[in-house]
């Protein structure tokens, strides 16, 4: 970047940080829950913050590259959002909202047993810590490329800044800065799309992309090994959305800031247009990149550097755009990191520290002062771990987006499966049946995910041309059944065949395994022990009539309340 872009980049980050922390400081942090969760935040701010929490920097770099290399099938995410987010808002969210849980995994203790809760929260910690490495590497890569920093220096700076945000502004500061950063991302993407339309002819983008099979977006093959088929998106993609937005501590903390269920549901539904708009812009940018390089594929160090390379070399006529873009990528990474640090802190404190504190501490429970100190310190612990793990991401021979979805699909799918079991399977009441199913699901999910790395399962790219010396020649390709599938360094064995399943289906596989094993174990245990009938608390089931709390402000104990509002009022 030149001097102007560098100054714009620094100025944007400073303004966002100062504004976010300023607004967070306007409201006094009265207790540990305010420091950890936040309160008094608007619906739009929370919706923007939720949207930026997952795959922001990762998708900003990985999604357009995915379209460039493998076509526009990810546009089907728009349909997935229309299906999945309403289910999150009206099926999953009411259950957790009325339970007023400090940790979402407390639900599993109420529904099954304490061991199920600890196993799920431990899985979440594992999932999020390893995802942090990917989420940290993505913006650090953009910063290193733009400012010519060594990548390890960029990683260290990025992880430290994200932890400092929480130290200075608390959860509320993280929410406000994430909302502003998400707004910057949308503005940046829109500006890039406008610059593309001014620089290149839409007709040429369409024709060149179509000739090179980039518009083949309706892959209707039913094989689960087809990576991005329509069925994979509609079924598997919906499972991924449930894993991220329905049963995840990151999003639960954001939803529970809202004083009413209706406002929390608005937060979820606002993510439909925001995520769909981003998917459309990502797809357009990917097609535009291919139209520019249709007969001369550039040499880049990694596929995920395609978009930064494109902006730097073909849109540099728009003064300041590169600085805005790098600021957007960097901000996207920071927002994901702050949300992850905060969620990890909540889970570790609620599910682990508070459990063992009475056994090792001098008091029966953690006092408010100690709780706040731990909230301030723990983000730096997670930042240190993420920094070490991010160094290893560079050695993984696959795309950032693939790594991120694989992590959430495998570990997240196992967690989603046990929640689905609890919410939708009232006949499973034996905690041993549920715990056995949960363990089996973790094993199968891990088996599939690890196999994809062991066998080096990689997707087959659509054809690229490097006829740079004869740039005037037309480029056309014929469709092959290999496109859209994956390859591996071995051709036999059930482990390999399972590992070649599309990462979109990881959650589906986990749910099927969990439900089948749980019902089999429930049947066996009922035959052996013949236990008396168990009457479930209907508030723990998704479609059962729910006993709603009184329509008042509840003065709940601190451990039972995520926000000082603690209102379950359904009125606006």
Domain boundaries, the chain: 3-411+423-560
Tokens of 557: 């104990």
- Residue range 336-349: mean pLDDT, rounded: 85
Confidence grade of residue 265 (pLDDT, cut at 50, 70, 90):
very high
Confidence grade of residue 454 (pLDDT, cut at 50, 70, 90):
confident
User: What class, spelled out in words, does domain 3-411+423-560 have in CATH?
Assistant: mainly alpha
pLDDT value of residue 524: 93
**3-state class of 8 per DSSP?**
helix
pLDDT at 135 over 70: yes
Kindly report which listed range (21-25, 352-356, 557-561) carries the lowest average pLDDT score.
557-561
- Report the distance separating Cα 159 and Cα 50, nearest Å: 20
**Percent of the chain scored above 70 by pLDDT?**
79
**3-state class of 454 per DSSP?**
helix
Looking at every residue in the chain, the average pLDDT score rounds to 79
pLDDT at 568 over 50: no
pLDDT value of residue 560: 37
- Residue range 81-93: mean pLDDT, rounded: 95
**Cβ(169)–Cβ(24) below 8 Å:** yes
Confidence grade of residue 572 (pLDDT, cut at 50, 70, 90):
very low
pLDDT value of residue 511: 95
- Residue range 547-559: mean pLDDT, rounded: 43
**Percent of the chain scored above 90 by pLDDT?**
22
Where is pLDDT greater, at 391 or 547? 391
pLDDT at 314 over 80: yes
Distances (CA, A) of 63 to 113, 236, 504: 40, 17, 15
pLDDT value of residue 368: 74
- Residue range 4-11: mean pLDDT, rounded: 86
Residues 6+ apart with CB under 8 A from 563: 33, 34, 37, 38, 39, 256, 257, 259
pTM value is 0.84
Confidence grade of residue 362 (pLDDT, cut at 50, 70, 90):
low
- Report the distance separating Cα 174 and Cα 160, nearest Å: 14
Q: Judge residue 14's burial from the number of C-beta atoms within 10 Å of its C-beta, 0-12 exposed, 13-18 middle, 19 or more buried.
A: exposed
Confidence grade of residue 282 (pLDDT, cut at 50, 70, 90):
very high
Kindly report which listed range (212-226, 275-289, 498-512) carries the lowest average pLDDT score.
212-226
| Cα 155 to chain centroid, rounded | 20
| Cα 38 to chain centroid, rounded | 20
Confidence grade of residue 500 (pLDDT, cut at 50, 70, 90):
confident
- Residue range 377-406: mean pLDDT, rounded: 72
Q: Which of 60, 82, 85, 124 is nearest to 255 (CA)?
A: 85
The conformation of residue 553, written as its DSSP 8-state character, comes to: B
Tokens of 153: 């220096």
Confidence grade of residue 364 (pLDDT, cut at 50, 70, 90):
low
pLDDT value of residue 437: 96
Confidence grade of residue 486 (pLDDT, cut at 50, 70, 90):
low
Confidence grade of residue 406 (pLDDT, cut at 50, 70, 90):
low
pLDDT value of residue 399: 52
Helix and strand element counts for the chain (H, E): 22, 2
pLDDT value of residue 13: 80
Quickly tell me which residue has 């006094």 as its tokens.
28
pLDDT value of residue 217: 67
Residues 6+ apart with CB under 8 A from 516: none
Where is pLDDT greater, at 407 or 506? 506
Confidence grade of residue 420 (pLDDT, cut at 50, 70, 90):
very high
Kindly report which listed range (254-268, 270-284, 314-328, 530-544) carries the lowest average pLDDT score.
530-544
Per this entry, what is the length of the chain?
572
Confidence grade of residue 161 (pLDDT, cut at 50, 70, 90):
confident
pLDDT value of residue 571: 42
Tokens of 370: 């100690």
pLDDT value of residue 191: 93
pLDDT at 312 over 70: yes
Confidence grade of residue 484 (pLDDT, cut at 50, 70, 90):
low
Q: Which of 285, 326, 286, 335 is nearest to 136 (CA)?
A: 335
Tell me the pLDDT tens digit for each residue of 172-189: 666 777 888 888 889 999
| Cα 311 to chain centroid, rounded | 25
- What phi and psi, each to the nearest 5 degrees, are found at residue 563? -140, 155
The alpha-carbon radius of gyration of the chain (Å, integer) is: 24
């Amino acid at each position: 970047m030149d001097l102007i872009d560098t100054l714009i980049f620094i100025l944007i980050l400073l303004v966002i940080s100062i504004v976010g922390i300023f607004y967070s400081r306007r409201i006094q942090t009265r207790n540990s829950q305010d420091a950890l969760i936040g309160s008094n935040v608007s619906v739009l701010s929370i919706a923007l913050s939720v949207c930026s929490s997952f795959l922001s920097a990762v998708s900003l770099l990985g999604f357009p590259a995915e379209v460039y290399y493998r076509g526009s099938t990810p546009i089907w995410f728009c349909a997935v959002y229309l299906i999945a987010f309403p289910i999150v808002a009206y099926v999953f969210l009411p259950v957790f909202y009325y339970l007023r849980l400090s940790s979402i995994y407390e639900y599993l203790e109420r529904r099954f047993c304490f061991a199920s809760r600890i196993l799920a929260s431990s899985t979440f910690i594992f999932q999020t810590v390893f995802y942090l490495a990917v989420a940290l590497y993505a913006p650090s890569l953009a910063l290193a490329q733009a400012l010519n920093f060594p990548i390890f220096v960029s990683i260290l700076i990025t992880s430290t800044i994200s932890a400092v945000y929480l130290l200075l502004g608390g959860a509320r500061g993280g929410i406000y800065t994430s909302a502003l950063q998400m707004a910057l991302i949308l503005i940046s993407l829109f500006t890039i799309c406008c610059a593309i339309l001014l620089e290149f002819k839409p007709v040429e983008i369409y024709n060149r992309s179509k000739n090179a099979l980039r518009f083949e977006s309706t892959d209707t093959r039913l094989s689960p090994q087809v990576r991005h088929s329509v069925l994979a998106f509609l079924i598997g993609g919906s499972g991924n959305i449930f894993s991220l937005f329905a049963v995840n501590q990151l999003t639960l903390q954001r939803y529970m800031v809202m004083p009413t269920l209706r406002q929390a549901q608005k937060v979820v539904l606002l993510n439909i247009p925001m995520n769909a708009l981003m998917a459309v812009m990502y797809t357009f940018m990917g097609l535009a990149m291919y139209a520019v390089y249709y007969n001369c594929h550039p040499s880049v160090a990694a596929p995920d550097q395609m978009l930064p390379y494109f902006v730097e070399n073909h849109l540099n006529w728009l003064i300041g755009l590169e600085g805005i873009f790098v600021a957007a990528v960097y901000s996207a990474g920071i927002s994901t990191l702050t949300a992850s640090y905060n969620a990890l802190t909540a889970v570790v404190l609620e599910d682990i520290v508070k459990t063992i504190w009475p056994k090792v501490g001098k008091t029966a429970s953690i006092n408010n002062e100690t709780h706040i100190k731990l909230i301030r310190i723990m983000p730096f612990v997670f930042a240190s771990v993420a920094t070490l793990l991010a160094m290893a991401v560079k050695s993984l021979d696959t795309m950032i987006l693939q790594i991120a979805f694989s992590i959430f699909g495998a570990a997240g799918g196992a967690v989603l499966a046990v929640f689905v079991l609890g919410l939708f399977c009232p006949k499973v009441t034996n905690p041993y049946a549920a715990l056995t199913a949960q363990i089996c699901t973790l094993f199968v999910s891990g088996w599939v995910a690890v196999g994809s790395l062991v066998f080096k399962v990689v997707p087959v790219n659509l054809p690229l041309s490097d006829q740079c010396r004869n740039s005037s020649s037309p480029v056309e390709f014929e469709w092959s059944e290999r496109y859209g599938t994956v390859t591996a360094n071995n051709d036999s064995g059930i482990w390999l065949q399972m590992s070649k399943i599309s990462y979109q289906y990881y959650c589906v596989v986990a749910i099927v395994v969990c439900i089948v094993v749980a019902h089999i174990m429930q049947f066996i245990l009922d035959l052996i022990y013949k236990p008396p009938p168990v009457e479930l608390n209907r508030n723990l089931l998704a479609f059962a009539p729910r006993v709603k709390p009184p329509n008042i402000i509840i003065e709940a104990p601190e451990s039972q309340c995520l926000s000082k509002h603690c209102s379950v009022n359904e009125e606006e």
